[in-house]
């Protein structure tokens, strides 16, 4: 028996939780976080070329092989023409479209499936707005595990086709991801399958965290001034923030510059976190009738609301929205100015960045990183 190098504790009230089959905090209902002893600077990273290179920071038992498809280690691409178009000094795109199944969701599923397989669960179930389902279908296939994916019928066709192609059981529903989430929990209760929902399952965010490690390492162990993230459930944003906290605890990055300013981009047709931020609230109310073609942002009741709101306030960041037309326009600008095949979510991020610069909320001499979370190819019918 190998002893785990981490514990699970509530992100809000610090109540401990068991390491396997964990869900939300039994005491207050908020997401759980894995906690580790600080990893000291210069601790050797793993000698491998996927996100598990950051193994000393990850929920991995000694000698255990993760379920991997080569996720992570995505490029940080200097985009001077785009920097000029939005009016900032320096702009980098972290191109997450280069992950297995074309989105950053691969990172979370690699970590979550690794832990679920170790726990011996009979199968996996996930509610998804699209990319999480495609990623889980791929990692379940890699782990030889059974999986059910529940997705809105309106999910872009190439994503549904990928889920199907990986051999997952695909259930198409008429509602949104919130409806799919309720069905996933009901199915988990009746079948014994384990539900891998955003931030309800605690290890997905551990995989997302590796975006933060890579970002800091690619910049020479420092952080940029601003990070812009197209936010739905909140896992990407929370993961990056958590990584930088852990790097600072071990002395990998300077203690006086730990976190960038976090700018959260949402679609005007589904913006629960932006609305809560503007209202000065510490949690988001559910968004009625969510509509946007940026399907990854169609999350009306994000579980990460409190964490994301706190992260923005603590870092001097903010949340803002883009209309469907602005999303289309800036998706086109992103792709044509860089050659990166941008998803609509990332057009949303760029539009919010541009508005933030124009309004003086983001400094023109800032060094900005925008996450290209998914691939445009996944959205072309």
Ligand X SMILES: *Cc1c(COP(=O)(O)O)cnc(C)c1O
Task: Summarize as ranges the residues that interact with ligand X (CB under 6 A).
Answer: 103, 105, 131, 198, 230-236, 296, 343, 345, 373-374
Biggest distance spanned by C-alpha atoms of the chain: 57
- Cβ contact 264:355 at 8 Å: no
Closest distance between ligand X and the C-beta of residue 254, in Å? Answer: 27
Nearer to ligand X, 292 or 373 (CB): 373
What is the C-alpha to C-alpha distance for residues 6 and 173, in angstroms, rounded to an integer? 37
Closest distance between ligand X and the C-beta of residue 94, in Å? Answer: 12
State both tokens at 278.
Answer: 């503007």
Q: 């068991």: which residue's tokens?
A: 18
Nearer to ligand X, 79 or 299 (CB): 299
Nearer to ligand X, 232 or 260 (CB): 232
Nearer to ligand X, 197 or 261 (CB): 197
Closest distance between ligand X and the C-beta of residue 370, in Å? Answer: 12
One-character DSSP codes across 64-82? PPP--SS-----EEE-HHH
Nearer to ligand X, 178 or 252 (CB): 178
Give CA torsion, residues 279, 281, 284, 289, to 10 deg.
Answer: -20
What is the C-alpha to C-alpha distance for residues 125 and 168, in angstroms, rounded to an integer? 10
Nearer to ligand X, 131 or 338 (CB): 131
Identify the helix (H) or strand (E) that includes residue 111. helix 105-118
Closest distance between ligand X and the C-beta of residue 245, in Å? Answer: 17
Closest distance between ligand X and the C-beta of residue 343, in Å? Answer: 5
What is the C-alpha to C-alpha distance for residues 46 and 313, in angstroms, rounded to an integer? 34
Closest distance between ligand X and the C-beta of residue 262, in Å? Answer: 12
Q: Where do runs of H (alpha helix) occur along 144-262?
A: 157-165, 177-191, 204-208, 210-218, 235-249
Please give the angle made by the CA atoms of 30, 288 and 281, to the nearest 5 degrees: 45
Nearer to ligand X, 39 or 232 (CB): 232
What is the C-alpha to C-alpha distance for residues 246 and 240, in angstroms, rounded to an integer? 10
What is the C-alpha to C-alpha distance for residues 176 and 183, in angstroms, rounded to an integer? 11
Residues 6+ apart with CB under 8 A from 174: 152, 153
Nearer to ligand X, 229 or 252 (CB): 229
What is the C-alpha to C-alpha distance for residues 105 and 139, in angstroms, rounded to an integer? 11
Closest distance between ligand X and the C-beta of residue 264, in Å? Answer: 8
Nearer to ligand X, 105 or 306 (CB): 105
Q: In the beta sheet, which residues pair with residue 262?
A: 227
Closest distance between ligand X and the C-beta of residue 98, in Å? Answer: 13
- Cβ contact 59:53 at 8 Å: no
105-118 and 235-249 helices cross at what angle (nearest 10)?
Answer: 80
Nearer to ligand X, 39 or 72 (CB): 72
Closest distance between ligand X and the C-beta of residue 200, in Å? Answer: 12
Closest distance between ligand X and the C-beta of residue 206, in Å? Answer: 13
State both tokens at 225.
Answer: 């001034």
- Cβ contact 276:284 at 8 Å: yes
């Amino acid at each position: 028996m190998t002893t785990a190098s981490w514990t699970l504790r509530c992100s809000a009230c610090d109540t401990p939780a068991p390491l396997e089959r964990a869900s939300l905090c039994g005491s207050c209902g908020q997401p759980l976080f894995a906690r580790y002893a600080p990893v000291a600077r210069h601790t050797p990273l793993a000698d491998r070329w996927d996100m598990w290179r950051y193994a000393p920071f990850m929920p991995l038992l000694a000698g255990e092989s993760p379920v991997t498809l080569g996720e992570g280690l995505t490029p940080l691409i200097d985009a001077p023409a785009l920097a000029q178009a939005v009016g900032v000094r320096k702009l980098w795109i972290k191109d997450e479209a280069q992950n297995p199944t074309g989105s950053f969701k691969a990172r979370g599923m690699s970590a979550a499936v690794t832990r679920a397989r170790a726990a011996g669960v009979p199968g996996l179930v996930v509610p998804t707005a699209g990319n999480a389902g495609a990623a889980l279908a791929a990692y379940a296939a890699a782990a030889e595990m059974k999986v059910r994916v529940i997705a809105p019928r309106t999910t872009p066709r190439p994503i549904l086709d990928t889920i199907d192609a990986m051999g997952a059981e695909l259930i198409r529903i008429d509602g949104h991801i919130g409806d799919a989430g309720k069905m996933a929990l009901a199915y988990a209760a009746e079948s014994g399958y384990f539900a891998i929902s955003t931030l309800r399952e605690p290890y997905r965010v551990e995989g997302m965290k590796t975006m933060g490690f890579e970002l800091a390492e690619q910049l020479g162990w420092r952080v940029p001034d601003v990070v812009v993230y197209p936010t739905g459930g909140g896992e990407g944003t929370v993961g990056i923030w958590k990584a930088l906290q852990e790097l600072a605890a071990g002395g990998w990055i300077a203690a006086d510059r730990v976190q960038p300013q976090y700018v959260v981009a949402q679609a005007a047709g589904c913006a629960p976190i932006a609305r809560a931020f503007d209202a000065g609230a510490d949690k988001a109310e559910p968004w009625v009738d969510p509509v946007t073609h940026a399907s990854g942002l169609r999350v009306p009741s994000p579980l990460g609301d409190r964490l994301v709101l706190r992260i923005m306030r603590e870092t001097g960041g903010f949340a803002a929205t883009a209309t469907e037309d602005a999303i289309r326009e800036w998706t086109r600008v992103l792709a044509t100015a860089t050659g990166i095949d941008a998803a609509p979510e990332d057009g949303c991020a760029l539009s919010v960045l541009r508005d933030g610069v124009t309004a003086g909320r983001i400094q023109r001499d800032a060094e900005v990183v925008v996450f290209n979370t998914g691939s445009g190819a996944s959205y072309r019918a």
